């Protein structure tokens, strides 16, 4: 289960909906209940994504609940973030933005689990214009092929569903990534389309 919700919703201070990957938006109460169930399972991973005013991911970090610790699952939904004695420590690191330092680059074809996770955090769906296929079910595609010197890095990876992965490799199609997460598609008829990371849901309070 991959569950996303505004922090205010998780803490019980907002009624903004959450989102379950592959399912879509869900009511705040359902999102809180699912979070409580996940919190009751040792080893569940909890992640925090900091977003900009446009809702795009800027920084991210994760932590796990270990066996024997008090978790949000020990309380009723809505009180998940206020369980006495429960502490979650998360180290937040900035995602590559506009330029890339290649600090998380992998020397192999397959990205490391951490790098692959960041790509799906940055781009929540397939990178083709209008495609809503969840990133966690997509291929981690090299924009410049690895065999042609393309990096396994934030600046050269993007989620593509299998259909658009194959389309990208077809004759007459071309894909560029001028900035990390910003995709420029050129289709056989010559038109160009530009896509960027999809925004995260907010709590309705504005920036």
For 170-202, the pLDDT digits (tens) are: 999 999 999 999 999 999 999 999 999 988 876
- CA 138 to chain CA centroid, nearest Å: 12
Residue 205 scores a pLDDT above 70: no
User: What tokens were used for 153?
Assistant: 């890095």
Question: What distance lies between CA 162 and its chain's CA centroid?
Answer: 18
Domain boundaries in the chain?
3-94, 126-195
What's the rounded Cα separation, in Å, for the pair 51 and 115?
Answer: 18
Tokens of 110: 């397959």
What's the half-sphere exposure (Cβ side, CA atoms, 13 Å) at 41?
9
What is the DSSP-derived secondary structure letter of residue 200? P
Total Cβ atoms within 10 A of residue 30: 16
pLDDT of 70 above 70: no
Q: Is 71:39 a contact under the CB 8 Å cutoff?
A: yes
Distance between CA 120 and CA 4 in Å, rounded? 12
Tell me the two tokens of residue 125: 């769906």
Q: pLDDT for 134-179, tens place per residue?
A: 998 999 999 999 999 999 999 999 999 999 999 999 999 999 999 9
If you average pLDDT over every residue of the chain, what do you get? 85
Residue 135 near residue 124, CB atoms below 8 Å: yes
Give yes or no for residue 97 having a pLDDT over 60: yes
The C-alpha atoms of residue 57 and residue 72 are separated, in whole angstroms, by 24
Paired tokens of 41:
């399972």
Compute how many other C-beta atoms are within 10 angstroms of the C-beta atom of residue 107.
6
Going by the DSSP 8-state scheme, the letter that residue 194 receives in this structure is E
Question: Measured between alpha carbons, how far is 70 from 139 in angstroms, rounded to an integer?
Answer: 36
Sign of CA dihedral 123, 125, 127, 130: negative
Torsions phi, psi for 164 (to 5 deg): -80, -20
């Amino acid at each position: 289960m991959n569950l996303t919700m505004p922090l205010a919703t998780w803490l019980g201070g907002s009624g903004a909906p959450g989102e379950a990957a592959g399912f879509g938006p869900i009511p705040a109460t359902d999102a809180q209940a699912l979070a409580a169930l996940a919190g009751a399972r040792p080893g569940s991973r909890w992640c925090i994504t900091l977003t900009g005013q446009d809702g795009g991911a800027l920084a991210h970090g994760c932590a796990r609940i270990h066996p024997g610790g008090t978790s949000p699952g020990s309380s009723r939904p809505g009180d998940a973030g206020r369980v006495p004695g429960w502490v979650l420590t998360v180290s937040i690191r900035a995602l590559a933005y506009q330029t890339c330092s290649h600090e998380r680059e992998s020397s192999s074809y397959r990205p490391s689990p951490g790098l692959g996770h960041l790509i799906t955090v940055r781009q929540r769906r397939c990178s083709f214009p209008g495609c809503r296929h969840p990133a966690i079910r997509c291929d981690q595609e090299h924009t410049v092929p690895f065999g042609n010197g393309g990096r396994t890095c934030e600046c050269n990876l993007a989620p593509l569903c299998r259909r658009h992965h194959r389309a990208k490799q077809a004759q007459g199609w071309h894909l560029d990534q001028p900035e990390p997460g910003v995709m420029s598609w050129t289709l056989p008829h010559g038109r160009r389309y530009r896509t960027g990371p999809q925004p995260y849901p907010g709590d309705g309070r504005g920036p």
